[in-house]
Structure 1
Amino acid sequence: MARQMFVSEHTGQDHLKSVFAKTATKNRRMLLARALGT
């Protein structure tokens, strides 16, 4: 994902952590479930 955004892997992880914090999720699975409303 970081390569597609043209940022470093570390920056990509920071963005992902920010999304987790804003959505009250802890991992990608929880984030996806929240996005799908399940």
Structure 2
Amino acid sequence: MLPECLETSHLHDCLAAIFTALVEWKLRDLFNALNGNFL
């Protein structure tokens, strides 16, 4: 059973959403690490 986002017409939007989520997660992780080092 595949998510609807894997349909060709939605593939770009799906990948963009995944990429954005991963970037936000990594930035949050980096920000937390920096706060831990400087505070």
Category of TM-score, reference length = shorter chain: 0.3 to 0.5
* TM-score in terms of structure 1 length: 0.46
Larger radius of gyration between Structure 1 and Structure 2: 2
